[in-house]
Amino acid sequence: MLGFMEDIEKKDPAVSNVIKQEHDRIEHGVELIPSENFVSKAVLQALGSVFTNKYSEGYPRKRYYGGQEFVDVVEELAIERCKKLFGCEHVNVQPYSGSPANMAVYLTLLDIGDKFLGFDLNSGGHLTHGSPVNFSGRLFKPVPYNVEKDTELLDMDNVRKLALKEKPKMILSGFTAYPRKLDFKAFQEIAEEVGAYHFSDISHIAGLVAGGAHESPVPFADVVTTTTHKTLRGPRGALIMCKKEDRLKEKYHPDWKKDLAGMIDFNVFPGIQGGPHDHTTAAKAVAFGEALKPEFKQYAKQIVKNAKALAAELMANGIKLVTNGTDNHLMLIDLRPIGLQGKGKELQSALDEAGITVNKNTVPYEPVSPFNPSGLRLGTPAVTTRGMKESEMKVIGKGIATVIKNYEDKGAKEKVRNDILELCKGFPIYPGFDILK
């Protein structure tokens, strides 16, 4: 995209204008959706490169079309950098996004109708972790595990009891809205005890794992997926890491002619996908290169420090958080104790008006509809990318609390909007560079 705005401006003002409007929206507001981030200029450049033109079904040195000499190099760069970053035995960098990556894992480890354990959607799991409307709940048999009602925390003893009772073929560790760390070792021990696969989806925390701010499931789990665009700060896309060998081959897959790594690759292509998006692969390689740098460790640690600071400020201003805090990059506001049950949607809009972007979310054991839930989910990956630190989190936290308590008061929202505008001026997303030229 960079350097190409001149052309699009002249040739397609309709699209060019909305790109500019979106740019202004992110530049002059604070982005707190915990699954979003701002990629580097280098990642944007790779995404806007000529690799977008290429077809390359297959894998390096085993392709179906000609002209692959440079695609192979870029895919191998992405693979090698990812292996170094996470210390995994095998990685497939071709998944278009998290859902197809997860689908390839289900199709590899399970047969249609097989039972698996996944985190309950209303308490923090993802659609692809067993929601009845998703392929994972329609083709397979999910049994949800849940947080405890009193602590809102996962109790691994209860996950173990459920696994012993249900005897699933796979146990999924991963979440989209849980503000605490996951104990991957405990998940693995349970999986081994009941003879199940352990599949970990670290889409939300991959950047924290890569930067040493959260324990890694890679030494434990059979298969690990992640999107590349959240805390990992790469392009939209995903990847699948796995052990080379199938730990449970004799029990479940005596007929497989390939090892686990080969079966994962087979299920990505030709199982689900066609040609990989080579411009995205190039951008993944760039992002993994960035994540290997020492600065990324600082970044990952600062995300968590900022999340803790934001959480503390919110709680100091009378806002209740699920589990009363956070250990990772995200937190969940519970609106029920301040009499705002089912008001998540209105408060998301009120915060939008004040230049603060969050998403409405269910809270554990949500009493009302997920369309009008009682929670707000927010996180710090994107504001940390802008260079904001604990003192800025205080300003943001105060602003959020003010809007929540005065969500129908136009003047109060306008005042917070002005504070946010002022704050953002000091933290340009692409400093020293006019991304719109």
Nearer to ligand DSN, 385 or 402 (CB): 385
What is the closest distance, in whole angstroms, from the C-beta atom of residue 23 to ligand DSN in the complex? 21
Q: Using N-to-C axis directions, what is the helix angle for 260-268 and 98-109, rounded to 10°? A: 130
b/e code 177-208 from CB counts within 10 Å (16+ = b): bbbbebbbebbbebbeebebbbbbbbbbbbbb
* Residue 108 vs 131, nearer CB to ligand DSN: 131
Q: How far is the CB of 382 from ligand DSN (least distance, A)?
A: 12
Q: How far is the CB of 99 from ligand DSN (least distance, A)?
A: 7
Cα–Cα distance, 219 to 402 (Å, whole number): 44
Question: Toward ligand DSN, which CB reaches closer, 94 or 176?
Answer: 176
Among 58, 95, 98, 235, binds ligand DSN (CB under 6 A): 98
**Which residue has its beta carbon closest to ligand DSN?**
35
Report CA Rg, the chain: 22
With vertex at residue 386, the alpha carbon angle to CA 237 and CA 86, rounded to the nearest 5 degrees, is: 40
Under 8 Å between Cβ of 382 and 230: no
Which x/- pattern over 129-168 shows residues binding ligand DSN (rule: CB under 6 A)?
----------------------------------------
The whole-angstrom separation of Cα 435 and Cα 3 is: 8
User: Counting contacts by CB under 6 A, is residue 126 touching ligand DSN?
Assistant: yes
Contact between 237 and 230 under an 8 Å Cβ cutoff? The reply is no
- In the complex, the smallest distance separating the C-beta of residue 15 from ligand DSN, rounded to whole angstroms, is 24
- Ramachandran category for residue 318: left, alpha or beta (phi over 0 → left; psi -120 to 50 → alpha): left
The pair of structure tokens assigned to 401 is: 């609390």
Binding footprint of ligand DSN, residue count (CB under 6 A): 4
For residue 336 the two structure tokens come to 């029920």
Kindly write out the interface string for residues 328-347 of this chain, putting x where it contacts ligand DSN by CB under 6 A and - elsewhere. --------------------
Whole-number Å distance between alpha carbons of 98 and 415: 38
> Nearest distance from residue 379's CB to ligand DSN, in Å?
9
> Please, which residue, 108 or 176, has the CB nearer to ligand DSN?
176
Measured from the CB atom, is 177 or 261 closer to ligand DSN?
A: 177
Site for ligand DSN in 221-260 (CB under 6 A): none
Q: Is 276 in the site for ligand DSN (CB under 6 A)?
A: no
Q: Using the rule CB under 6 A, is 179 a contact of ligand DSN?
A: no
- Applying the rule CB under 6 A, the residues between 19 and 38 that interact with ligand DSN are 35
Does residue number 176 form part of the binding site for ligand DSN (CB under 6 A)?
yes
Give which of 377, 423, 379, 397 is closest to 313, Cα–Cα: 397
Residues belonging to the active site: 55, 57, 201, 227, 230, 236
In DSSP notation, 43-80 reads: HHHHHTSGGGG----EETTEESSS--HHHHHHHHHHHH
Q: Within a 10 A sphere around the Cβ of 275, how many other Cβ atoms?
A: 16
C-beta closer to ligand DSN: residue 188 or 226: 226
Least distance from ligand DSN to the Cβ atom of residue 411, Å: 32
Q: Applying CB under 6 A, which residues contact ligand DSN?
A: 35, 98, 126, 176
